[in-house]
Amino acid sequence: MAYVSALEARGFERFPLIKEFDRRVKEYVGILDRDLLNYLKNGYMVLYVKKPEKSDVIEAGTRGILFPPKSTRHVIPYRPVNVRCPLELLSGRMSDSEAEEALNRLLSSMSKKVLPPNSLYAGRVYEEELILYNP
């Protein structure tokens, strides 16, 4: 993932620079690595954040360093969006099976729209399939 800017971050010592960029620039867009050259050819300035490797994560953890926002994430088979789950389902007042049954009823009552992988939604590109509830 790349972000529009003129900076390149390669190591932990430059994370404050990325945090400052995040604080100052509120309107930037994520682009896929495969589109990076097209943006550069069209005159965009790009801040490219290296994908962290396992060794980077271990080093950061042992040194107590936090990664900048959006530098790590979990990829799942599909991502539900706009579920609007009632807090009572999360409160612990119901058994797990009751909460799961209530959630299933809620989800089946909502309208859905499926977006394919690599779709842009709300200013972000998602690699996984999106399920938009109440689109």
Tokens of 59: 């080093």
The closest of 3, 63, 59, 12 to 33, measured between CA atoms, is 3
- Which tens digit of pLDDT belongs to each residue from 23-74? 666 566 667 777 888 888 888 777 766 677 888 888 888 888 777 666 666 6
Phi first, then psi: give them for residue 78, nearest 5 degrees: -150, 155
CB 89 within 8 A of CB 99: yes
What pLDDT, in 10s, does the model give residues 70-118?
Answer: 666 666 788 999 888 888 888 888 999 999 999 999 999 999 999 999 8
Q: CA-CA distance, 109 to 4, in Å (whole number)?
A: 40
Does the pTM of the predicted model rise above 0.85? Answer: no
For 56-88, b where at least 16 C-beta lie within 10 A, e where not — what string?
Answer: beeebeeeeeebbeebeeeeeeebebeeeeeee
Is 25 in contact with 31 (CB distance < 8 Å)?
A: no
CB 11 within 8 A of CB 65: no
